Amino acid sequence: QVQLVESGGGLVQAGGSLRLSCAASGRTFSTYTMGWFRQAPGKEREFVATISWRGGTTYNADSVKGRFTISRDNAKNTLYLQMNSLTPEDTAVYYCAAGGVGAVVTTYRYWGQGTQVTVSS
């Protein structure tokens, strides 16, 4: 089992950047595919990015390609999401998740509590 805690959210102006972190507990972090998802008010939770257990394979949603970068440091049990060129459409609660398959939200077993990202225009 793994517990996940996100941090790094906040309020930023359009065009700005934020870096989200997800600290994981447990010895099995390095064995899990990890993902970032987000949920805006009134909308379903959607896929943002995923990374393989070694970090060699990443995949981003079309809406964030070229702007967001997912990475991980298995020695530190930490997942990251670097977000650049933010727009108001990126406003959402961002969640990290572990133990799933690619972009399929329903396959992820473990979830953090989420961190709010608000982008002002």
Query: What's the mean pLDDT in 56-60?
Result: 94
Torsion of CA 3, 45, 30, 101, to 10 degrees: 130
Q: What is the pLDDT of residues 87-118, one digit of tens each?
A: 999 999 999 999 999 999 999 999 999 999 99
Q: What is the pLDDT of residues 5-40, one digit of tens each?
A: 999 999 999 999 999 999 999 878 888 999 999 999
Three-state SS for the chain is CCEEEEECCEEEECCCCEEEEEEEECCCHHHCCEEEEEECCCCCCEEEEEECCCCCCEEECHHHCCCEEEEEECCCCEEEEEECCCCHHHCEEEEEEECCECCEHHHCCEECCCEEEEEEC
pLDDT beyond 90 at 56: no
pLDDT value of residue 84: 98
pLDDT value of residue 69: 98
